[in-house]
Structure 1
């Protein structure tokens, strides 16, 4: 993702419906992880929105960001921040209890190498939480603008996670209810769809996606996929 998109993300993420609900999603799954909070690496942290969630849940997080604008924004939020490439993480092997990579793999040609690095830095039994955009039928100018290389299917995400050395414990869809609207919008998009929204529209979209917390829609096609994986040994 280039510096312009990073700057837009940092400016909008605290209020934007998609980022707010994704942070809520992260928080729910942090509470379900076994064991006590420990060291967590937030790979591709941008301005550290998810890193703050990790800290709120008593993890000791490090924001890992390649783009200098994102790393600077994370530091300005008083987050422990390291400039780093997901393909060669600047951390010791077996040093982290959790790795979070939200919307990272789709930006990198060698996505399997990133997963292999995640496995390397995780301690045995450590967990990984991963999100990616799904379904090449949703490919649009938005993907090009934000630097995506691909979108995933359940099979391709599972394959890259397992080829990188992690064991998938659960894999499910997210942003299912708004998939028809996303498909319609993306067909007509000419650039990134990350923009400031009218507060009423923003609230309505968040209410729709938040409804997925209570509905059994995780196996249906969505806009994103999420995986929970573990380093078995």
Structure 2
């Protein structure tokens, strides 16, 4: 993700429905988990790292870009510059590796999974969210610098092949997937070398409605249906 997109993300993060929903997801996934030492790999503007800090975690962001590191630090989250394929963390040092919407940017995602495993202590947890569904590929992915979208079995195989035991894998943003699919089919041409990000400000009533849809989804048994994202929780045995 380039500097312009990072600035856009930072400007939207506090109020935009998608970022708010993702922070709520992190809170829900970490409910009841004893706090410890965590790294947020690719924190960008730092919203999710800030959620972990609020939950009592000693969290450090590991961010590749200078812009992302600066934006994360503005939230008061400690951050170090580092590559997800070569994490600047000693073996077995952390209790949680969180990475949301990062793995899809990296060609060598096997290295990222291996590094996540290496840095976790035995019993430590992995939480990863990625965009789902190859059929959803569009100019939005091109604009954000994605190299892939994931299918459920592909993500499971990747995580398990590097020694993790999967606790669960769930879809997220299920209710809004048909809307996104329609929009991408007719308004964002993935056949070109350029694209347009869908991460943009929306009118307040629409933003509230979309936030409500995400909140309602969390109460429904829909996490096995196709969604816009996949979230895997696993641990190092």
Measured against the shorter chain, the TM-score band is over 0.9
Which residue of the partner structure matches residue 37 of structure 1? 35
Structure 1 residue corresponding to 2:139, chosen from 133, 138, 141: 141
**Structure 2 stretches of 5 or more lacking a match?**
189-194
SS of the equivalent of 1:126 reads: strand
5 Å-filtered alignment, 1:20-31, equals: 20-31=20-31
1:209, CA displacement in angstroms? 1.4
Deviations along 1:168-198, whole A, 9 cap, x unmatched?
1100101000010010111212400011111
User: Within 2, Cα distance between the matches of 1:143 and 1:164?
Assistant: 26
Structure 1 residue corresponding to 2:200, chosen from 187, 195, 202: 195
**The 10-residue stretch of structure 1 (186-195 or 105-114) with the greater mean CA deviation from structure 2:** 186-195
SS of the equivalent of 2:140 reads: helix
TM-score between the two structures when normalised by the length of structure 1: 0.97
5 Å-filtered alignment, 1:83-98, equals: 83-98=81-96
CA contact (8 A) 1:115 1:165 kept: no
**The 10-residue stretch of structure 1 (164-173 or 57-66) with the greater mean CA deviation from structure 2:** 164-173
Which residue of the partner structure matches residue 58 of structure 1? 56
User: Within 2, Cα distance between the matches of 1:103 and 1:163?
Assistant: 20
1:165, CA displacement in angstroms? 2.1
User: Within 2, Cα distance between the matches of 1:79 and 1:222?
Assistant: 30
Structure 2 residue corresponding to 1:103, chosen from 101, 124, 128: 101
Which residue of the partner structure matches residue 191 of structure 2? none
Which residue of the partner structure matches residue 11 of structure 1? 11
Structure 2 residue corresponding to 1:227, chosen from 222, 228, 232: 232
SS of the equivalent of 1:221 reads: coil
SS of the equivalent of 2:128 reads: strand
Structure 2 residue corresponding to 1:169, chosen from 167, 170, 176: 167
Which residue of the partner structure matches residue 122 of structure 1? 120
Q: Which runs of 4+ in 1 moved over 3 A?
A: none
1:32, CA displacement in angstroms? 3.7
**The 10-residue stretch of structure 1 (85-94 or 165-174) with the greater mean CA deviation from structure 2:** 165-174
Structure 1 residue corresponding to 2:69, chosen from 68, 71, 88: 71
User: Within 1, Cα distance between the matches of 2:2 and 2:163?
Assistant: 29
Which residue of the partner structure matches residue 181 of structure 1? 179
Which residue of the partner structure matches residue 156 of structure 2? 158
Deviations along 1:104-124, whole A, 9 cap, x unmatched?
110001111101000000000
SS of the equivalent of 1:150 reads: coil
Which residue of the partner structure matches residue 213 of structure 2? 208
What is the total number of aligned residue pairs between the two structures?
230
User: Within 2, Cα distance between the matches of 1:159 and 1:201?
Assistant: 37
User: Within 2, Cα distance between the matches of 1:45 and 1:32?
Assistant: 22
Deviations along 1:144-176, whole A, 9 cap, x unmatched?
000100000110000111122211110010100
1:17, CA displacement in angstroms? 0.3
**Structure 1 stretches of 5 or more lacking a match?**
none
